[in-house]
Structure 1
């Protein structure tokens, strides 16, 4: 589905990504791990057309490099940024409504699905998003992206600052996506959730991929964890 080759990205004169190669297959959860500043979020932004970059980003065989973010989203890639961009003056339901993508095919997800997955959102359905807790805003951002019916969802630090029970909910949510045929690129610092639900793990360091393998292979590779992940 998503195939990235020799990707370089820049913030002005600062060269952030240095020849990233990676792919995400159909119905796969891939965890992209690394310390802050390693280039994980920049990789997501490069895929979505939000930073200057060169190389190759192929989505279902089509090069999306140079396309506008809304064009990339309409091709079937959803993006959940780490800063929980909700529309604060709109209600929970209105935020979800804005996420809908009008197309001829039947969407995989409905309002009922969202409220079943996260009952707390149903309770807050008519509440302005700006007064929700951090965990509730994270749920809402995830669900709003899903309402656009993406085939791949890129999620940046979904468990940051969340209570353990909400983290468990997010893990269940991601597994529910895979069960419905949605691929996931999960950008995470927490090894626990990534190792528990991902099919493959990638580790970034200094803007490059320094490890690729199964969660089990990463568990057994103490040198990689020590050098690139552990504080």
Structure 2
């Protein structure tokens, strides 16, 4: 489905990613973990064309390297940024409408069924929503584009534990519907609980690729690349 090979990324003259390689298969949740500055968010941005990169990004065998972000989105890859990036002066309904792309399985009714809180707030401006509601709105807007792969950066940051659990359950529901998820996350417990596979990054490279169980059992890797 998604095949990344020898991906390098740059911010100006700064070389941030150093030959990142991995795959994401259909209906799989892959957690991208690591300390701050390890390159997790840069990897997500490089995949959707938001930073200068070199290497190969293949999607269903098609090379997306060098494509513009809107072209990548049209191929069925959705990206939810760390800051959520909703439109604060537009209503929930209007935000969702902006994410709509063609005819597909995801409709207003289906998004509202997944996030009942948004149905109750559909005419409310995005800027006055709670942090959890804004995250749901960002997810819902991405789904309105009918993606096959959802790349989501730090979806639980700043959220109450109850909302974190709800977001995690939502991602599992999406997986059950065949949507693959690349999850950039700092909360280790949530990531390990819901992911099928874990990629651990350090210094701009993937230093571990395995199952959550394998990472739990590897204290040396956790200590060197993850724990503070």
Match of residue 58 from structure 2:
58
For structure 2, the 5+ residue unaligned runs are none
Q: What is the aligned length? A: 228
Residues 38-80 of structure 1 deviation map (CA, whole Å, 9 limit, x = unaligned): 0000001101011111010001101101111000000000000
Q: Per the alignment, in what secondary structure is the counterpart of residue 58 of structure 1?
A: strand
Structure 1: distance between partners of 2:13 and 2:189: 36
Q: Per the alignment, in what secondary structure is the counterpart of residue 35 of structure 1?
A: coil
Structure 2: distance between partners of 1:156 and 1:49: 15
2:199 to 198, 202, 211: 202
Question: Is structure 2 residue 80 aligned with structure 1 residue 80?
Answer: yes
Match of residue 90 from structure 1:
90
Question: Is structure 2 residue 162 aligned with structure 1 residue 152?
Answer: no
Match of residue 160 from structure 2:
163
2:134 to 123, 134, 137: 137
Structure 1: distance between partners of 2:72 and 2:110: 25
Structure 2: distance between partners of 1:108 and 1:27: 16
Question: Is structure 2 residue 171 aligned with structure 1 residue 174?
Answer: yes
Structure 2: distance between partners of 1:154 and 1:177: 12
Match of residue 17 from structure 2:
17
Structure 2: distance between partners of 1:121 and 1:35: 33
Match of residue 218 from structure 2:
221
Task: Report the alpha carbon displacement of residue 108 of structure 1 after superposing the two structures with TM.
Answer: 2.1
Question: Is structure 2 residue 97 aligned with structure 1 residue 100?
Answer: no
For structure 1, the 5+ residue unaligned runs are none
Structure 1: distance between partners of 2:124 and 2:14: 42
Question: Is structure 2 residue 115 aligned with structure 1 residue 114?
Answer: no
Structure 2: distance between partners of 1:195 and 1:63: 30
Task: Report the alpha carbon displacement of residue 226 of structure 1 after superposing the two structures with TM.
Answer: 1.0
Match of residue 180 from structure 2:
183
Match of residue 30 from structure 1:
30
Q: Per the alignment, in what secondary structure is the counterpart of residue 89 of structure 2?
A: coil
Q: TM-score with structure 1 length normalisation?
A: 0.97
